[in-house]
Chain A
Amino acid sequence: MTQSTPLLKVDNAGIRFGGLRAVADVNVELFQGELVGLIGPNGAGKTTFFNLLTGVYVPTEGSILLNGEKLHNLAPYRITRKGISRTFQNIRLFGELSVIDNVKVAYHSLAKHSILSSIFRLPSHFSGEKEMDEKAVAFLKIFGLDRYKDEKANNLPYGQQRRLEIARALAANPKLLLLDEPAAGMNPQETKELMNLIALIREKFDLTVLLIEHDMGLVMGVCERIYVLDHGQLIADGTPEEIRNNPKVIEAYLGEEVS
């Protein structure tokens, strides 16, 4: 893929809730393999923007293209299958399912065995389930979660739950991974481990990553480019260095430390 065709192209996208424009005129281009940050003060519309990308909300204006293909009006699960997958700000694991089953749910769309073959326990059911199982175990090893595999997701410690949510999102085989405040609630040590993990998975899975984060250290440290949202509009984009010195950004954060 050449640099001229972006993986994700968001063209003047926005959404209104009643009279309120929650997000407006957002233009974003992400290229294959980039790690990009999305920052902004509370209530700036960052999560709403993620919801637009993943089909939870349908944009009322503009368009969103993945590899040149319009995503407008696709159900969220279809968008996931096209290659955008996400984590949530407040962790949303399948709490009563085991760790390994959480990952297997993400593999579901690749399952080769039908409902009937599972009901009648045909050979394709056994081979399909076995394949999923092996894949999931190998996958959990990468994240160091294999020792918890039969534990209920609810019973994991907080940091591991965050990890599992990222693992689950990756298991859905995305081209673009959206991380919504992955370091929220983590201590500095855990945050550092998370940064290493993000760098590792980007390398290993040839991913493009868009990251919402409050922890400026993390964003400035790992992201190559940064977009800044304020009041639902993009006010700046550029390298971490440019963003750090951008007066508009400083004003938006008014008093908050930007470095």
Chain B
Amino acid sequence: MKLFKQSKSFWFFILLSLAAFGIIQALIITGMLNGFYVNTIIFVAINIILAVSLHLIIGITGQFSIGHAGFLAVGAYASAIITMKLQLPFAAAIIVAGLTAAFTGLLIGIPSLRLKGDYLAIATLGFGEIVRIVLLNVDYVGGASGMQVSHLTTWGWAFTCMLIAIIVIVNFTNSTHGRACISIREDETAADAMGINTTLYKVVAFAIGAFFAGIAGALYAHNFYIIQPSNFGFLKSFDILIFVVLGGLGSLSGSVIAAILLTIISTFLQEYPETRMIIYSLVLIVTMLYRPQGLMGTREITSLFKKRKAAEGGTQDDSKHTVA
């Protein structure tokens, strides 16, 4: 009967988010939200996609990847080529962006996911830099001066993609496949000994994460008028990493909340980029020192609404897990 309950909360979630979508859409149509706010809201949606896609890789599967901006870049450029060079519709661009990034994810994931912890982190960081340098050197996409892109991203597109990303990742996580990934995070040797094809699941998580980062890239590119390799440096990767870490490694709702909060904060600090980075870095350090499990730990926001069993009550709060 648990299954029935799950799908009930699923429909509740869909209903709630459609309502949120409707309200914002209405506000946009009636002109009550000006361009600045619309842009911010779209940006929140894009960052949520990035956060949940990295959450799958780091929070669920425990693979410490810090080159996520590389996939964002691949998606952004792939989509820009589709719309600007090939004059194809935006929908095609979004799908191609996702697939190209997923393919890149496979390409980079298969060799590098044999590495663990710090080494994987550095390899993915290196990968992100390689993507940027390749884009810098390819004249077809404009080199350092970048590509002109039309403004095609609307709140509708951003919302739809965000909803799909969340649903896919939640559905994946709450299944035997998601459990396989979590078992890798918890103890890779034991997962292997239980018959889990750890390499396969690491690569799958990486590819799904890259897919959605690519889609975010398409939305990102078409929300600006120009994209340049310098938009996708490792500072961008760190931005995404902060959502996941601050939200709580292993908590999807945590990373969504962190993405919303930090996007709004950084929008208001746009005029003061140094202040923003200093606040970001201090938040990062203080979080690691005093609350390394992040905002939510591995819990989800839905668990706060459920009646907790007395036996579970207090013990869960101090839980932390090792990812390395």
Contact = CB atoms under 8 A, between A and B. Distances in A.
Given A94-B182, A108-B196, A121 B171 contact: yes
Contacts, number: 121
A70 B176 CA distance: 30
Contacts of A105: 179-180, 183, 191, 194, 196
B189 A56 contact: yes
A152 B171 contact: no
Contacts of B187: 92-95
A139 interface: no
A172 interface: yes
Contacts of A81: 195
Contacts of A130: 3
Contacts of A76: 189, 192-193
B176 A106 contact: no
A111 B201 CA distance: 14
Contacts of A154: 319
A155 interface: yes
Interface string A68-80: 0000000111001
A128 B176 contact: yes
Given A77-B192, A94-B186, A107 B176 contact: yes
Interface stretch (B102-110, B116-124, B310-318): B310-318
Interface size class of chain A, counting residues whose CB lies under 8 Å from the partner chain: 35 or more
Interface stretch (A15-23, A96-104, A203-211): A96-104
A129 interface: yes
A175 interface: no
A9 interface: no
B175 A109 contact: no
Nearest to A86: B193
Contacts of B7: 121
Interface string B296-324: 00100000000001011001100101000
A151 B319 contact: no
Contact of B194 (A80, A121, A155): A80
A75 B199 CA distance: 10
B236 interface: no
Interface stretch (A29-37, A112-120, A188-196, A243-251): A112-120
Contacts of B179: 97, 101, 104-105, 108
Contact of A172 (B194, B204, B321): B194
Contacts of A95: 186-187, 321
Interface in A210-259: none
Interface residues of B, number: 38
Given A85-B193, A121-B171, A77 B180 contact: no
Given A115-B177, A129-B3, A151-B311, A77 B182 contact: no
Interface string B227-244: 000000000000000000
Given A115-B204, A133-B2, A152-B316, A109 B172 contact: no
Interface-centre pick from A86, A96, A118, A168 (highest chain B CB count, 10 A):
A96
A81 B192 CA distance: 10
Given A119-B171, A151-B312, A111 B176 contact: yes
Nearest to B176: A111
Interface in A28-87: 54, 56, 75-77, 80-81, 85-86
B197 interface: yes
Contacts of B198: 77
A125 interface: yes
A108 B175 contact: no
Contacts of B2: 133
Contact of B190 (A92, A126, A128, A132): A92
Given A108-B176, A121-B7, 7 more contacts: A56-B193, A77-B193, A97-B179, A125-B175, A133-B2, A150-B312, A155-B315
20 contacts: A75-B199, A76-B193, A77-B194, A80-B195, A85-B194, A88-B190, A92-B193, A94-B187, A94-B190, A94-B191, A96-B321, A97-B182, A118-B171, A119-B168, A128-B176, A129-B3, A132-B176, A133-B2, A152-B316, A172-B194
Interface of B: 2-3, 7, 168, 171-172, 175-180, 182-183, 185-187, 189-199, 204, 250, 298, 309, 311-312, 315-316, 319, 321
Interface of A: 54, 56, 75-77, 80-81, 85-86, 88, 92-97, 101, 104-109, 111, 113, 115, 118-121, 125-126, 128-130, 132-133, 150-152, 154-155, 168-169, 172
